[in-house]
Each structure stands twice: as C-alpha cells, then as structure tokens.
Chain A
Amino acid sequence: MNTNKNSYTLIYAVVMVVVVALLLALVSSGLKEKQNENIALDKKKQILSSLRLDMSGQDPAALYDKYIVKELVLNSKGDVLSEKRGDAFAIDVIKQNAKPLEERQLPLYVAEVDGQTKYIISVRGAGLWGPIWGYIALDDDKDTVYGTYFSHESETPGLGAEIATRDFQNRFIGKHIMNAAKEFVSIAVMKAGKVDGTRDQIDAISGGTITSKGVQAMLEKSIGQYEVFLKQ
C-alpha cells in the first residue's frame, strides 16, 4: 500500500481525528459526574476554610451540613430572594459578575460556630496572571472579619501565590470593613511601612504587589455588593 498518496494521508488524518475525538468525548462525559461531585466538595471545603476549622480527616460534606445553617440568595438592595437550601450554593459567581449590579444574585452562607452566627461572603477578582477568589467570614456584627480563605489559578509561586497561605489569610482576622461612622470602606492591603489612615489595613506580600492590589480591589468590589445587607 502506498502510504504517501495525498488521498491516503487525508483519509488517515480524518479518521484519526474522529476516533480520538470520540474517545476523549467518551472519557470526558463518563467522568463528568464524578468530577462535578469533586468540584462541589472542594467548594464546600473552601467555604469552611474561611471559618478556620480543623478539617483534617473529616468529611467536608458532613461538616458543611453541620456548620452552615442557612444559605441565602440576596440582591444588591439587601432583599432575600431565596432561602431554599442549595440555591445559593448553585450560584455561579462568574456569571453573576457579568450582569449589572441590580440584577445580580448574591450568595450568602450563614454559619454557626460555637453558638455564634457568622456570615460568609463569596469574593472574586483578578490577580496578576489570572482569577483569584475566596470567602470572607464576618462576625454577627457584620463588620469584624472572623476568617478568610483565598485561592488563585496561576499566581507566581512564592510571590503572589502566597495569598493562599494561612499566614496571609490570618492577617485579616479582627479587622473591620466599616469605619467608625459605619460606612463601608473595606480593608486596605498596604506595603509594609505605608499607612492608609482611612481604614483598617494589613501587610501586602513583598514581591507580590499586583496580586496584593488585586486582593484589595476584590474585597472592595465583592463585599461592596452586599453593602446594604451588611448595614441592616
């Protein structure tokens, strides 16, 4: 057989592409359900991480059911759109951020830790190389930060990627997102030695300036959406 003919080459390429595409589609759809389960479980873990729980060796799904007592869907005017369990969890924050603020559905998770109510807000923004996201847990005064969790897609290891470490996340504990006049001002992420003056601040990551600025902008924008609710 002459394998150098044009027609043979063409047919070979077409058959190969179709076979490989079919195979990959099969694998992908066969594993889809399992992968989605993993993604949901991972999201629960991330939400719980903002509560600073020790989750080692425990099932995140069970812990989630235990600690998260309510899931709310809010709008930017502070109205509760839904209290049905699962509704808030299913919200895709990326899609919501593409809509105008008045039309957005905002997820809010209400947790109970040692008898105290905590409100968990989902935040999302941009770092240096890609998206960054996280969860912020507030005390029941809707002002003091109880704990945070941040993650990222592709920040520089050792520099921007440090936002995913406990050391950075714990810097936010006890900071206030409102000023003395109860206006929403968020929290500044400042270079060591610099002082913002108008609001609470934490130290940025040396060498990770743009990611640190990204965290600051993400907090302002994402928590800002909940402003009306937080003042209620």
Chain B
Amino acid sequence: MSKLISDKTKQVFLGPLSKNNPITVQVLGICSALAVTAKLMPALVMGISVTIIVAFSNVIISLLRNTIPNRIRIIVQLVVVAALVTIVSEILKAFAYDVSVQLSVYIGLIITNCILMGRLEAFAMGNKPWESFIDGLGNGFGYAWILVVVAFFRELLGSGSILGFKIIPKSFYDAGYSNNGLMILPPMALILVACIIWVHRSRNKELQEK
C-alpha cells in the first residue's frame, strides 16, 4: 500500500480538493454548477456521477495515451466520455427509472463538463493509469463539494428545505420571514461560488494575484 499511495499520488488527490480546485481555482465546470444547484439532491447525484465518469475516463485515456494519434486526440477523448455517459444513463434507466427521469438532462450534461476534457487533456494524456484514476477522484470530489455547499445554501434560503424536507419552521414564516426567490435563479450560484472563492483566497495567500 505504501507504494500505491506515495507522496506524489497524495498530492494528486488532495490538490484538487483545495489549492487546485477545479471550480474555485481552475474555474472549470462553472456551467453545470449553475444548472444543478437549485436543489441539494441533483447536486449530490451530479457530483457522484461526474466523479465516477472522470475517474474511469481518465483511466481509459491513460491506458490508451501512447496509441492515440495526436491530431484526433480530442475526438478520441470525447468518444470515450460520451460512451461512458451513455452507459451510465442506460443503466440508470434500467435499474433506477425514477431517478433517471428526474436526472436525465443532468446526466447528459456531464458530456459537456469542462472538467472532464480538462483533466483528460492535462493529466491522463501524460500520466500512468493509477495516478490518473486518483486524479479523477480528486477532481470529482473537489467539484462535488463545491456543488454541495452551493446547493445547500440555495435550497435552504431559496426553498426553506434540505433534500426536500422543510427545515425553516412555520413560526418563522408566520413572523414575516419569506424564502428568497433570487436564490433559485442561476445568478445566485455565481455569487455563492464567488463568496467561496473569496474565503478560499483570503485563507490561501499564495493564490492571490499580485
């Protein structure tokens, strides 16, 4: 095990969770962060699906990296991602029909997620399969936790619930509190992501531009 998780691999895994986060530092995958974070549940499923797909497409591309013709490498990456996404969505349709009806749009959206192409091109094309797998997991989780935090606040303040359960007690509403409709709209996701970036940069001074 000690050989499997060397210092470098650890760095590959932990980097994207904070100092090299795909959303807050690399600013990739913002589009889907806006689309699926109005409620917590789709954000969770999206985070998990992206993690699985980025990890496995990283491995596949890493295995093929020495055979892929340079001129069509983007196409090859795209085909691998699209095939994986299609398989995941077919499996969901067969074994979790209700979930797939709710999420079909989001699952299809994974193909267009910039994190996937970014990681395939920047990491998997030049690294061994095991490290690529870890890199995929790290970036997937780095993406997922931002989504979950944003979705948590948007659902809490926008709908007064968490995972569909009412959290804000009725007495609050009676006293004049009302849900913030702005939270449901996409621009609020950008503002929340910006708040996370603000906190993140003030704690990690080396990320600040001069």
Q: Which residues of A contact B (CB under 8 A)?
A: 3-4, 8-9, 12-13, 16-17, 20, 23-24, 27-28, 31, 34-35, 38-39, 41-42, 154, 157-158
Residues of B within 8 A of A8 (CB): 69
Judging by beta carbons under 8 Å apart, are B72 and A13 in contact?
Answer: yes
A3 to B125, CA, bound (A): 14
B184 on the A face (CB < 8 A): yes
We find that the number of chain B residues with CB closer than 8 angstroms to chain A is: 24
Given contacts A12-B69, A27-B90, A38-B97, contact A17 B184 (CB under 8 A): no
Judging by beta carbons under 8 Å apart, are A12 and B94 in contact?
Answer: no
Report whether over half of chain A's contact residues are helix, strand or loop; otherwise say mixed. helix
Residues of B within 8 A of A27 (CB): 86-87, 90-91
Report whether over half of chain B's contact residues are helix, strand or loop; otherwise say mixed. helix
Judging by beta carbons under 8 Å apart, are B76 and A31 in contact?
Answer: no
Residues of A within 8 A of B74 (CB): none
Quick one: CB contact mask for B63-76 with A, threshold 8 Å, 1 for yes? 00011111110011
Could you give 19 example pairs across A and B, Cβ below 8 Å?
A: A3-B70, A8-B69, A9-B71, A9-B72, A12-B69, A13-B69, A13-B75, A20-B80, A24-B83, A24-B87, A27-B90, A28-B90, A31-B94, A34-B94, A35-B93, A35-B94, A39-B97, A154-B105, A157-B38
A28 to B83, CA, bound (A): 12
B79 on the A face (CB < 8 A): yes
Partner of A17, one of B70, B71, B79, B86: B79
Judging by beta carbons under 8 Å apart, are B71 and A4 in contact?
Answer: yes
Judging by beta carbons under 8 Å apart, are A3 and B67 in contact?
Answer: yes
Which of A24, A28, A38, A39 counts the most chain B CB atoms within 10 A? Answer: A38
**How far does the Cβ of A119 sit from chain B's closest Cβ, in whole Å?**
27
Judging by beta carbons under 8 Å apart, are A34 and B83 in contact?
Answer: no
Partner of A9, one of B69, B80, B94, B184: B69
User: Closest residue to B82 on the A side, CB-wise?
Assistant: A20
Which of A4, A16, A17, A24 counts the most chain B CB atoms within 10 A? Answer: A16
Residues of B within 8 A of A34 (CB): 94-95
Residues of A within 8 A of B66 (CB): 3
**How far does the Cβ of A226 sit from chain B's closest Cβ, in whole Å?**
28
**How far does the Cβ of A192 sit from chain B's closest Cβ, in whole Å?**
19
Residues of B within 8 A of A17 (CB): 79
Judging by beta carbons under 8 Å apart, are A3 and B79 in contact?
Answer: no
**How far does the Cβ of B123 sit from chain A's closest Cβ, in whole Å?**
20
Residues of B within 8 A of A16 (CB): 76, 79
**How far does the Cβ of A27 sit from chain B's closest Cβ, in whole Å?**
5
Residues of B within 8 A of A31 (CB): 90-91, 93-94
Residues of A within 8 A of B93 (CB): 31, 35, 38
Judging by beta carbons under 8 Å apart, are B79 and A4 in contact?
Answer: no
Residues of A within 8 A of B95 (CB): 34
> Among residues 68 to 126 in chain B, which have CB atoms less than 8 Å away from a CB atom of chain A?
68-72, 75-76, 79-80, 83, 86-87, 90-91, 93-95, 97, 101, 105
User: Closest residue to B105 on the A side, CB-wise?
Assistant: A154
Judging by beta carbons under 8 Å apart, are B79 and A42 in contact?
Answer: no
**How far does the Cβ of A114 sit from chain B's closest Cβ, in whole Å?**
28
Q: Which 7 A-B pairs have the closest CB atoms?
A: A38-B97, A31-B94, A34-B94, A9-B69, A20-B83, A3-B69, A35-B93
Residues of A within 8 A of B83 (CB): 20, 23-24
Given contacts A13-B75, A16-B76, A16-B79, contact A4 B87 (CB under 8 A): no
